């Protein structure tokens, strides 16, 4: 049954030309077939009234836009037309009545029945659709009213573009209820501390019909200032923008927290400058005095003087590490770019080798001639790992081997040593902030800095066991395209 109704629903409406065609062709057929006569005038007038009524009813039937129903009525109309012509001509009976007109009546009433069923079905569907839309509209209205943020709609067709709707979230945020808000432009939330530049930015976006988002200092009803994140979006209709929807969210806690972070960053930057310049320079002066004191101390004093010089050297290295750590903490965007791997490795191997002349650093050639995605801090990664391999090495002659292999989209740098190694229980934690090996006397900042930088580069770093003794730091970095 459903398939039949579906097929009947697909029947198209007859064209208007078909009405004109039948109106002309049918009497022509009667003229050719029968002689004309007016023997029974009252019956002719009655049939004419029936035909006129059928034509009048055809107008609203066509407006229903149901093809099967209109075709059925067209057949019925044709039957009434034939009955009317039957009264005007002689001898059409019994050909026209009852056979021809009866046939048209049967066909038209059958189709009318199906058409009526379809009409009732479509009415039921429309009612169900209307109920579903009403439920959807109620749900949307409820979502707007109960939203945790402020939602407003402005009427852009009226002078001063007043608000025409506000939700409960707006009232909770600002302290103004709907009665105090509707009919007013939302600028009543602004005050002396409101940024004119951001207000102008909103105005420009509205004039251009664009969306915009700004964070303004607004005033609540009780006069308290708050940071209001405002998002405005146009609501288009028929090529025009009669309304704008606005979303307001209280961002006071977030903005104040950002201000605190910025203040901390400024203080950290100032501290870093003091460490890099004042403290480091003073330590360099102290270290330079040790050579002058060699001739003025005893042999026992020389040993202590050497210890003091080594500790001063360590302190200078700590200022370098503090500078690098400060740069990492202050730099939210690493700004990666292609860095030549060979240049970075070679420079740090030479620097560390000159600082630790009792150790040996062997380059396993060839190092892949590739560039990796990193920044200028890549030198710090290799320098910290190389120094770690020597400083925490208990062998008589620390030996470090550097090698690298290129994969499809990454390169792996392996820095192996002959030291005591790192237990499996500490391999995952060694890169945590402040973590140190069991034999370490350092701060643990170097390995933390290594892991932080490599992660920012989109790479990875881990520790493996060396054969027969020692540890291998493996640094994996993405190759620049």
Q: Is residue 143 part of a domain?
A: no
Spatial distance between the Cα atoms of 292 and 309, rounded to a whole number of angstroms:
12
Whether residues 57 and 102 fall in one domain:
yes
pLDDT at 200: 93
For residues 48-69, give the mean pLDDT: 70
pLDDT at 84: 67
**Averaged pLDDT score across all residues of the chain:** 79
| Cα dihedral 210, 213, 219, 222 sign | positive
Please check the confidence at residue 438 and state whether its pLDDT lies above 50.
Answer: no
Whether residues 88 and 19 fall in one domain:
yes
With CA atoms as reference, report the closest residue to 173 among 225, 214, 244. Answer: 225
Whether residues 294 and 241 fall in one domain:
no
Whether residues 381 and 468 fall in one domain:
yes
Last residue of a domain, one of 309, 328, 347: 328
Q: Is residue 92 part of a domain?
A: yes
CATH number at residue 175: 3.30.450.20
User: The whole model's pTM is what?
Assistant: 0.49
The phi, psi pair for 408, rounded to 5°, reads: -65, -50
Strongest mean pLDDT among 17-26, 205-214, 292-301: 205-214
**Neighbour-count burial for 271-293, b at 16+ CB within 10 Å, e otherwise:** ebeebeeebbeebeeebeebeee
Q: What pLDDT, in 10s, does the model give residues 138-155?
A: 888 888 888 889 999 999
Q: CA 231 from chain center: how many Å?
A: 15
Whether residues 234 and 366 fall in one domain:
no
Q: What pLDDT, in 10s, does the model give residues 323-338?
A: 666 666 666 666 788 9
Contact 367, 340 (CB under 8 A): no
Last residue of a domain, one of 138, 163, 182: 138
Which residue's structure tokens are 């120094």? 387
Write out the two tokens for 127: 């009612």
Q: Regarding predicted confidence, which is higher, 26 or 428?
A: 428
Write out the two tokens for 216: 């303004």
Whether residues 16 and 33 fall in one domain:
yes
Please check the confidence at residue 58 and state whether its pLDDT lies above 60.
Answer: yes
Angle between helix 16-33 and helix 67-88 axes, rounded to 10 deg: 30
Q: What share of the chain is helix, strand, coil (3-state, %, to 5)?
A: 55, 20, 25
Whether residues 302 and 361 fall in one domain:
no
Please check the confidence at residue 171 and state whether its pLDDT lies above 90.
Answer: yes
Please check the confidence at residue 210 and state whether its pLDDT lies above 90.
Answer: yes
Write out the two tokens for 435: 């973590």
Query: Is the bond preceding 366 in cis, omega lying within 30 degrees of 0?
Result: yes
Last residue of a domain, one of 311, 328, 345: 328
Please check the confidence at residue 439 and state whether its pLDDT lies above 50.
Answer: no
Strongest mean pLDDT among 54-63, 244-253, 350-359, 440-449: 244-253
Which residue's structure tokens are 């620390």? 398
Domain count within the chain? 4
Domain membership of residue 384 as a residue range: 334-478
């Amino acid at each position: 049954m459903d398939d039949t109704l579906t097929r009947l629903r697909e029947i198209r409406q007859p064209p208007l030309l078909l009405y004109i065609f039948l109106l002309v062709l049918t009497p022509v057929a009667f003229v050719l077939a029968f002689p004309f006569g007016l023997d029974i005038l009252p019956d002719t007038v009655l049939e004419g009234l029936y035909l006129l009524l059928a034509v009048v009813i055809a107008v609203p039937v066509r407006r229903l836009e149901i093809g099967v129903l209109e075709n059925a009525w067209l057949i019925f109309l044709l039957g009434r037309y034939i009955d009317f012509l039957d009264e005007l001509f002689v001898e059409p009976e019994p050909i026209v009545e009852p056979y021809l007109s009866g046939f048209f009546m049967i066909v038209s009433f059958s189709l009318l029945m199906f058409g009526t069923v379809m009409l009732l079905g479509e009415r039921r569907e429309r009612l169900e659709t209307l109920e579903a839309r009403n439920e959807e509209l109620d749900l949307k209205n409820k979502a707007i009213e109960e939203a945790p943020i402020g939602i407003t709609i402005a009427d852009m067709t009226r002078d001063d573009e007043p608000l025409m709707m506000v939700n409960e979230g707006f009232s909770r945020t600002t302290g103004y209820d709907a009665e105090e808000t509707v009919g007013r432009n939302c600028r009543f939330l602004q005050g002396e501390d409101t940024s004119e530049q951001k207000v102008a930015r909103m105005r420009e976006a509205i004039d251009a019909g664009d969306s915009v988002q700004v964070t303004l200092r607004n005033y609540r009803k009780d006069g308290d200032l708050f940071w209001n994140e405002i998002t405005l979006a146009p609501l288009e209709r028929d090529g025009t923008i009669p309304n704008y929807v606005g979303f307001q969210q209280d961002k006071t806690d977030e903005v104040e927290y950002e201000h605190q972070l910025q203040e901390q960053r400024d203080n950290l930057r100032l501290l870093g400058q003091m460490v890099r310049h004042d403290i480091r320079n003073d330590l360099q002066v102290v270290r330079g005095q040790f050579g002058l004191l060699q001739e003025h101390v005893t042999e026992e004093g020389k040993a202590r003087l050497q210890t003091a010089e080594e500790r001063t050297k360590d302190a200078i290295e700590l200022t370098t590490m503090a500078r690098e750590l400060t740069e990492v903490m202050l730099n939210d965007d690493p700004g990666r770019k292609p860095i030549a791997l060979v240049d970075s490795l070679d420079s740090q191997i030479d620097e560390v080798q000159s600082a630790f002349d009792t150790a040996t650093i062997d380059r396993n050639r060839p190092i892949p001639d590739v560039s990796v995605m990193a920044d200028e801090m890549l030198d710090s990664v290799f320098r910290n790992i190389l120094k770690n391999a020597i400083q925490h090495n208990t062998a008589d002659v620390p030996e470090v081997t550097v090698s690298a292999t290129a994969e499809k989209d990454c390169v792996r740098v392996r820095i192996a040593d002959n030291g005591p190694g790192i237990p499996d229980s500490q391999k995952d934690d060694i890169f945590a902030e402040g973590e140190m090996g069991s034999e370490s006397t350092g701060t643990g900042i170097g390995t933390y800095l290594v892991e932080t930088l490599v992660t920012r580069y989109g790479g990875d770093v881990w520790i493996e066991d060396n054969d027969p003794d020692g540890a291998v730091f493996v640094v994996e970095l993405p190759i620049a395209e």
